[in-house]
Amino acid sequence: MNSRKATAALALATALALGASACSSSSNSKSSDNGGKKSGGSSAAAAKDAALTGIVNASSTKGGTVTMENSDVPDSLDPGNTYYGWVQNFSRLYARTLLTFKPAAGKDGLTVVPDLATGLGQASADAKTWTYHIRPGLKYDDGTPITTKDIKYAIERSNFAPEALSNGPTYFKAYLQGGDKYQGPYKDKNPNGIASIATPDDTTIVFHLAKPFADFDYLATFSQTAPVPQAKDTGADYVKHIVSSGPYKFASYEDGVGADLVRNPQWQQSSDPVRKALPNEIKIKFKVNANTIDNNLIAGNDTVDSGGTGVQSNTQAKVIGPKYAKNTDDSYAGATSYLAINQNVAPFNNIDCRKAIEYAIDKTSVQTAIGGPVKGDVATTLLPPTVSGYTKFDEYPSAGGKGDVAKAKASLTACGKAGGFTTNLTARNDRPAEMAEATAIQNSLKQVGITVNIKSYPSGKYFSNFAGVPSYVHQHQLGLMLTAWGADWPTGYGFLDQIVDGSAIKPSGGNNIQELNDPAINKALSDAIANTDATARTQAWGQIDKMVLDTATVVPLIYRKNLLYRPDSATNVTVTQAYLGMYDYLLLSSSK
């Protein structure tokens, strides 16, 4: 570490030592050779769950084409306009960030290492000032130099321009000095941008925060820190002509169809200790039927399902059989599937009506609908057991997670709806498992007199156009909304902040879709992330989780597992818990 001062260093080291799962830091050491030698886990022969702790089909051979498919479209491949975990993983192929998670097997993959930066952040004693230095001589795919001014601009456009880029998180906006006043580069024409990000020279960047933030090195792994040259930025249309800072560049991109990535001749292995860049080409297709993707994987026509959420329920029985089981990895996703109850949609403005939902849902039927225990465990908390700060509790107990009809009906009587009511439930129509969850919930609620109309939407626009848009939700009376969440980084704050803090409610693209804005919860989150006592901070996350459940605005359903399938042609395959238990796309290559 460059700095061992203050709470920031302590928080970082403690979180990493716990080895928790993350969606989105540790030593300055160089990464291991990932091109076929041991890297954070042993090289492993193809066997069931082998990629959970080792690298399957390890190879150092350059060449071949990695072929990916996805059942819908991404929110965006623009590194500054995405919140999907798989895009964060995928974007590392063409967008380098200040720091990144080490491409390695097992818990070693949770280690944060320098990427563009020469080391981890240098923190002030109060954890309010963070300094990074980037490697000299870096270039974009067009040969122009990469500077820290480009990193500053990338953060400004991604955090302060919701009118153009609405999908990503806004941690930088929330914590930078003056973040509540700066209007973003498209509206504020001051060429110096926000004053709290300083770039005294082309290789130095300094962040001045309004309040302590002990986990700041985790923010430096976000794709939002991938540099963007202001002269090439076209706002929401930048996705059509992304300028690459990584080993691959876009040979083609067609909105809603797919993309083709080829080698970036300006990328230099000597300036990138993280990536081996073995494949010659990476192809990705969108809007492919989920069951078709499974069949293509089994036939060896694809390398990976880029969504990383595992095979579909009707494929599961086939791949867990004796012929294909050796090609599967049942990975904990570090994520929880849950039902959001929007408290601004009647009758859920009454807590007892919300409690009726909490008690009525048969979670074991939801588990069965998605494929049984192989797809996850019944949940009682938002924080999954793999995230630092998890505390076991159950605020709405029932026998074996099967629901409590008597308590549900009593809650309905208490909220003045003894005869039940009608409401709408949303789910993503290109995710068969989520649609199955919706049907199971519909059946559960019917038992207590609640009629549910299922409204389905495409996942690529689920948050930007529908469930994440409060005005749309209110207008269409979307009282219940299915979703799933994994930690932005492996601590309770990294999991909870964007889904329960009131500041995370946005006009569109928000993930706090229950619109929870509880002052006590907001304050507890802010106080905990500034706490200099790492043990107390970790305990706080479980306490906050319980505070959220007591509002009855979320129903935890399943601690998710991903039943992944890897074809024999896939090489250097390992699961990364840093990105929701999917395969690590920086390591992945192909023998085809």
* CATH code of residue 384: 3.10.105.10
425 and 487 part of one domain: yes
Tell me how far apart the terminal alpha carbons of the chain are, to the nearest angstrom: 40
How many domains does the chain divide into?
Answer: 2
> Could you tell me the residue range of the domain that residue 472 belongs to?
331-562
405 and 518 part of one domain: yes
Q: What is the mean pLDDT of the chain?
A: 91
Reported as a single tens digit per residue, the pLDDT across 186-238 is 999 899 999 999 999 999 999 999 999 988 999 999 999 999 999 999 999 99
Residue 532: its pLDDT value, please? Answer: 66
Label residue 400 left, alpha or beta by phi (over 0 means left) and psi (-120 to 50 means alpha). Answer: left
263 and 370 part of one domain: no
243 and 141 part of one domain: yes
In a domain, 104, yes or no: yes
134 and 259 part of one domain: yes
Tokens describing residue 457: 């939407």
Region 16-37: what's the mean pLDDT? Answer: 32
Reported as a single tens digit per residue, the pLDDT across 62-81 is 999 999 999 999 999 999 99
Reported as a single tens digit per residue, the pLDDT across 333-382 is 889 999 999 999 999 999 999 999 999 999 999 999 998 999 999 999 99
CA distance 445 to 363: 11
Region 385-394: what's the mean pLDDT? Answer: 91
243 and 388 part of one domain: no
Residue 37: its pLDDT value, please? Answer: 35
In a domain, 373, yes or no: yes
Region 274-301: what's the mean pLDDT? Answer: 97
Tokens describing residue 308: 């990383």
Q: Above pLDDT 90, what percent of the chain? A: 82
CA distance 415 to 352: 5
Task: Please name the residue ranges forming H helices in 340-381.
Answer: 351-360, 363-370
Reported as a single tens digit per residue, the pLDDT across 113-143 is 999 999 999 999 888 999 999 999 999 999 9
Cβ-Cβ contacts under 8 Å for 79 (sequence gap 6 or more)? 91, 95, 97, 154, 158, 223, 224, 226, 228, 242
Residue 42: its pLDDT value, please? Answer: 58
278 and 355 part of one domain: no
Whether 148 has a pLDDT exceeding 70, the answer reads: yes
Q: How many helices (H) and strands (E) does the chain have?
A: 15, 23
Residue 530: its pLDDT value, please? Answer: 87
Res. 8 pLDDT band, cuts 50 70 90: very low
In a domain, 26, yes or no: no
341 and 256 part of one domain: no
Residue 312 CA to its chain's centroid (Å): 20
- Which of 267, 284, 301 is at the close of a domain? 284
123 and 252 part of one domain: yes
Residue 214: its pLDDT value, please? Answer: 83
In a domain, 29, yes or no: no
396 and 263 part of one domain: no
- Strand segments (E) across 75-144: 99-101, 112-114, 122-123, 129-133
Reported as a single tens digit per residue, the pLDDT across 301-330 is 999 999 998 998 889 999 999 999 999 999
Residue from 272, 277, 390, 377 nearest 333 by CA: 377
Report the CATH number that the domain containing residue 104 is assigned in CATH: 3.40.190.10
In a domain, 211, yes or no: yes
